[in-house]
Amino acid sequence: MHFSNYRQQFWEGVRDLLPLVSGVLPFGLIAGATGVALGMSPEMIMGMTVLFYAGSAQLAAYQLIQDNAPFVIIVLTSVVVNLRFAIYSATFAPLIAPLKARYRYPLAYLLSDQAYGLCNVPEQLNRSTGERLWYLTGVATSMCVAWILSVLLGVALGTSIPAHWSLEFTIPLAFLAMLVSTITSRLLFIVAVVAGLGAIAFQLLPYNLGFTLAVIAGVCCGIWLPGLVRRGGQSNG
Amino acid sequence: MDNLTLWGLFFAVGLGTYLVRLSFIQLHGSTQALLERSKTILMLLPPAILAALCIPAIVFQRPTTEYQLDWIQILAGLVTVLIAHFSRSVFWPVVGGMLCLWLARWLISGNAV
């Protein structure tokens, strides 16, 4: 009886993920088709997809490969774009950490934005550990399958998409849309503006140095600005 | 970049990403303090990185060898921001921006002819 209950949780996870495929599919199509446009072979694109299992890092890597950025910068940037997974890792740690290694390692690989989003609604948090684990497994596996199939479809369609459609422009647009959703406070808005202006100002520096400098400028601004404002407020008052 | 370098790149990023995913799960219990301390930077990094990645690619024409503004791309970017402000998905803002790009290019090329 317990087992059938868990199986039900698994399929509930799969079912809840299905509507999100509408957002995953175009993203995967872009990731696949852009790889083809950059002249990469299908097995390379799919290898990259499976190794990364992170769409935004994959798009970031494409852009930096296109910009002829140095190896280290591309690796660091792609991993840093994925730093949000550290937050997911911390969130799921109480659930996944006690498991045996053979379950723990695959589940860690399967963590995604979608899994995080679906598994942390109040309705899920009130359930038992076993139920939550099976729900997470359902969501995370189906997400992984949906992602890989979407990229595969993008690779298949890639060559038939005309160059003058400028499909590669969807990459900065997708980042821009993600940027808007990450800006949840005035401070984060200022950080984004500083980093964006920095990237423009340092655009022509070699080795993609401008990108790194812009990110550092934005983050430093976000760290120091609240302190400066507070001190300024005190001296005025 | 040749294929071998690219594979090296993919493995390095894949490993790095996996370690990030595994990090707190593997070190569960001993990392609460570190997480608290790095929270601010973890929160500031995404907007900084995303802005630095996309703003130059939208504002300037490719390949970037000089500061050559591309007004159609900037317009498409503004449309994307506007839609993203109201819709939480990534899909519709990108669709809106691309439609704007194609429409504006078509209008301009039509006028030129």
pLDDT at A50: 96
- Do A211 and B54 make contact, defined as CB atoms within 8 angstroms? no
Which carries the bigger pLDDT value, residue B46 or residue B100? Answer: B100
Average pLDDT over residues B67-71: 86
Q: Which residues of A43-60 are buried (b: 16+ CB within 10 A; e: fewer)?
A: ebbbbbbebbbbbbbbbb
Q: Looking at the complex, does the CB of residue A81 fall below 8 Å from at least one CB of chain B?
A: yes
Q: What is the pLDDT of residues A129-173, one digit of tens each?
A: 999 999 999 999 999 999 999 999 999 998 787 777 777 787 788
Instruction: Please give the structure tokens belonging to residue B26.
Output: 């593997």
Q: Which residues pair with B69 in a beta bridge?
A: B60
Q: Look at residue A41 and give its three-state secondary structure.
A: coil
Please give the share of chain A, as a percent, with pLDDT higher than 70: 95
pLDDT at A11: 95
Q: Looking at the complex, does the CB of residue A201 fall below 8 Å from at least one CB of chain B?
A: no
Q: What is the pLDDT of residues A48-69, one digit of tens each?
A: 999 999 988 898 899 889 888 8
Distance separating alpha carbons of residues A151 and A27, to the nearest angstrom: 8
- Do A82 and B16 make contact, defined as CB atoms within 8 angstroms? yes
Q: Looking at the complex, does the CB of residue A97 fall below 8 Å from at least one CB of chain B?
A: yes
What is the CB-side half-sphere exposure of residue A64 using CA atoms within 13 A? Answer: 31
Q: Looking at the complex, does the CB of residue A104 fall below 8 Å from at least one CB of chain B?
A: yes
